Amino acid sequence: MKDVFDPLADIERALAAQAGWTWFDDYLLYTCGIVESMTAGRGAQIRSNPTRVRLEPGEICFADGGVRWFTWRGIVAHPGPAPRHIQIRTPLDAIYQWGADVQRQRVEAAAQPRWVAEPPGSAMISNRRIQLANPGRAFSVRWSTLAGIDLVAPDLVGCRFPDHSGAVQQLQIRTSWAPLVFVTAALQHFPHHPLLRNGTWLPAGFEDKCHLAGKKCPNVRIPG
């Protein structure tokens, strides 16, 4: 394809640079476009993006990219037998006791509730689910199965859902598409979520930033 000179392109880049526009703002602006289409009843007309994930009939891939996720691990009731206490009589006994103390501390630490980081992977975000995959595992979480979802930080979304046994699982997903994950799920299944109702899912002043950067932002802060 032959390159065509566009004098407005340089102007747009200059305006964006002056406004402090970043790649994350591009993600937010794309998300605003998705929200506009969904709230206007045009969700089925959104163009599906390329993905290696096998899509279901009627499923639309909104985004596909890198991700880190964290699994909540609750208190372990029986972490294993505690190391026995050694009566110190010789220097060698002291070394053994030191090793036993280290082992005990590790056992106690493993029993504490905490977020456990999974290896880096990829996420496919669609109108129906998010699929998470890394070299060790792959699974999907459907928006319809969520018990709750929150935008914890601009790039971090947390959610709760029951697994196949009925036990509630908790995930935190760190991705540049976190706002997209949140609004896609919330618009369909949590329309009264406070972040949707008060518009704080979108950073304050984002519309003004778009204007300064010469970009058009749809009016979707509080979806109608």
* Contact (Cβ atoms closer than 8 angstroms) between residue 14 and residue 20: no
With b for 16 or more beta-carbon neighbours within 10 A and e for fewer, the 24-37 pattern comes to ebebbbbbbebbeb
Confidence of residue 15 (pLDDT cuts 50, 70, 90): confident
Per-residue pLDDT tens digits for 21-48:
999 999 999 999 999 999 999 999 999 9
Angstrom distance (rounded) from CA 224 to CA 221: 9
Top CATH class, 7-74+115-212: mainly beta
- Domain range annotation of the chain: 7-74+115-212, 75-112
Angstrom distance (rounded) from CA 206 to CA 218: 11
The answer to whether residue 132 scores a pLDDT higher than 50 is yes
pLDDT at 3: 40
Per-residue pLDDT tens digits for 50-90:
999 999 999 999 999 999 999 998 754 444 555 555 565 66
Angstrom distance (rounded) from CA 18 to CA 36: 27
The answer to whether residue 108 scores a pLDDT higher than 80 is no
The answer to whether residue 2 scores a pLDDT higher than 50 is no
The answer to pTM > 0.95 is no
pLDDT at 80: 52
